[in-house]
Structure 1
Amino acid sequence: MSTPKYSQIDTKALPSNIMDLRDDAFYDLIRQVSGKRVAELPTFQECNGVDSFLGCKDGTAILQLKSDQLNDLKKHSRVTLTDGTIALLPGLESSANNLMKLLKKKREEINKQV
């Protein structure tokens, strides 16, 4: 028997009304769960709730775009290596990925209840 995809993820700390959270309430929750820098990503992208955030397949993809408007966001999210390549901070990437998994699992649990 195979293990469910998100079996190791505990959603108990998330509020039962998470699908209703919007804007500041949603961003505040992300800050609590994943930290300030991770919360800056959906805030900047106007992903103001669970569904819009999960609709972004990769919440960190915006950091690959070339735009002066992203400079402040990039400054705190990436590092330039000595060879000139740019890398996303590993902790930020991991936290963003874990947040996506957590929210997906919570949405699945809520959908099963309906």
Structure 2
Amino acid sequence: MTRASLDISRLPHDVLTYSNQRFFDFIESFCGKDEADLLSIQAIRSVDSFLSVQDVYSIFAVDSEDVIEIQARCAFKNRNGTFTVKPGIKSSLNYISSLLTEMKTKTAKKKKTALASTPSILSIPSTVSTASSYSINSSPGDTAITPFVSTKTVTEHHEFITTSIEQWCNQNKNDLNLCNLNFVCGIDYHLKFSSS
């Protein structure tokens, strides 16, 4: 399938975040009930899971009572006991996989472009004002505003930033469908401090 034939405008803008019933409803409306059930019985419950599965059709090699119905609905049983996936099932799942992959690629490129336009290294001097409060010295006739400076060591800044990132991840992982999110400083991101 050529990239020119992949019209991702047909997809909902937030489809990459779909999981569980919302994902199955999307697959059913876009491809069909058999396709949605084929993914459901395999516990393929999200776009990421769907795109990560090596062979969505490997279920047709499974010899189990649990999958007989879905095998009969989505494939032809050969005389030798093997199955051949129905062309319509295969083409619709391959097409939606291509569309979702294309959308994921374009989304990643947009994020990369957005990140490229922002500084990639956060430089914080070793002594920085971390409070934005100001004190006002007033005397008759003049008012001067002077910043209140709270100093922290590099270690304190590092701890504050990593703790803030961990808290944000924990608070937002369900909204982002990232249940296994474990964002670790030194592995997933690096903090670099410079003295000024």
Sort the TM-score into its range (normalised by shorter chain): 0.7 to 0.9
Query: What do the CA deviations read for 1:37-77 (whole angstroms, capped 9, x no partner)?
Result: 11112111111111101111222221222111111111101
Contact 1:30–1:38 (CA<8 Å) still a contact in 2?
A: yes
Q: What is the match of residue 54 of structure 1?
A: 51
Structure 2: 5+ residue stretches without partners: 112-196
Q: Which has the higher helix share?
A: 1
SS in 1 for 2:84: strand
Question: Within 5 Å, which residues of 2 pair with 1:86-105?
Answer: 86-105=83-102
Give the AA of the match of 1:110. T
Question: Within 5 Å, which residues of 2 pair with 1:1-80?
Answer: 6-80=3-77
SS in 2 for 1:95: helix
Give the AA of the match of 1:60. Y
Within 2, Cα distance between the matches of 1:61 and 1:34? 19
SS in 2 for 1:76: helix
SS in 2 for 1:87: strand
Change (3 A) 1:80 1:62: closer
Change (3 A) 1:11 1:50: same
Change (3 A) 1:111 1:91: same
Contact 1:78–1:88 (CA<8 Å) still a contact in 2?
A: yes
Superposition RMSD in Å: 1.9
- Normalised to the residue count of structure 2, the TM-score between the two structures is 0.52
What percentage of aligned pairs have identical amino acids? 26
Q: How many residues align?
A: 111
Give the AA of the match of 1:100. S
- Normalised to the residue count of structure 1, the TM-score between the two structures is 0.85
Structure 1: 5+ residue stretches without partners: none
Within 1, Cα distance between the matches of 2:75 and 2:52? 23
Within 2, Cα distance between the matches of 1:44 and 1:51? 16
Within 1, Cα distance between the matches of 2:86 and 2:61? 13
Tell which structure's C-alpha radius of gyration is larger: 2
